[in-house]
Amino acid sequence: MIASRLIKEDILPLNITDTAHEAMNRMNEYKVSHFPVVDDGRFVGVISEKDLLNPEIRNRELQKEFIHFDNFYVNEQQYIFDVIKLAIDQKLSLIPVIEDKGNYIGCITQSDIVGFFAESMSVDYPGGVIVLEVSVNDYSLTEIANIVESNNAKVLSSYILSSIGSTKLEVIIKVSKLELGAIIQTFERYGYQVNASFYEDVNYDDLKDNYDSLINYLNI
């Protein structure tokens, strides 16, 4: 997934001649703490809420020299992982996207990123989540999928957590069954360590409790 597929074109950028007060109003409107600024369509930079808190600059234009701009952006052809890395490294609530000539074409918000992962992790589909621990050398997604399918289920999504220098991986898979007992037993029979399991059913009232349990486990 490249950046251009996630952009919001309806969030119009600030112009460099807009005032600090107008910038704060736009941030409040979209519930973000950063906003892109352009000059005749060309990307100038990102302005941060913390740079606009001084009431003395309320009616001054953004182009004034005391206003600070950060040159944070991604190119439209960059992959979603580049977007996430920039958002995390710089603690951005909104990531501008520009084209090759430097013109602003849209932005990606944190909710867009969350929505992408929700879709890629099949959050809307009922099923169960199993957390496995395997050594780096023994990891095989094909074998994991075969074990799941041998229990008449499918792997809906999967991803890996690892620590630098560790020889272990945590493999989190979502499967198309709510009843996980037989699948877990098969994994254990094949020598896999099962660290945790969660079931998710979009029809159950306690869905949020199970979701919160998973998020707490992952420390997100």
> Which domain-ending residue is among 54, 85, 116?
116
Domain end (from 116, 146, 161)? 116
Task: Enter the pTM of the model.
Answer: 0.60
Assess whether pLDDT exceeds 90 at residue 38. yes
Which of 20-29, 99-108, 118-127 is least confident?
118-127
Confidence band for 182, pLDDT divided at 50, 70 and 90: very high
Quick one: 100 and 180 in the same domain? no
Q: What is the pLDDT of residue 149?
A: 95
Question: Looking at the 3D structure of the chain, how many domains does it have?
Answer: 2
Whether 104 and 138 map to the same domain: the answer is no
Task: Say how far apart CA 27 and CA 187 lie, in whole Å.
Answer: 49
Phi, psi of 64, rounded to the nearest 5 degrees: -60, 145
User: For residue 150, what pLDDT is reported?
Assistant: 95
Asked whether residue 112 falls in the same domain as residue 130, the answer is no
Q: pLDDT tens-digit profile of 158-179?
A: 888 877 778 899 998 889 888 8
Cα–Cα dist 55/21, whole Å: 9
Instruction: Compute how many other C-beta atoms are within 10 angstroms of the C-beta atom of residue 202.
Output: 10
Helices in 56-167 by DSSP H: which ranges? Answer: 80-90, 110-120, 141-149
Answer yes or no: do 8 and 50 share one domain: yes
- Tell me which residue range forms the domain holding 81: 3-116
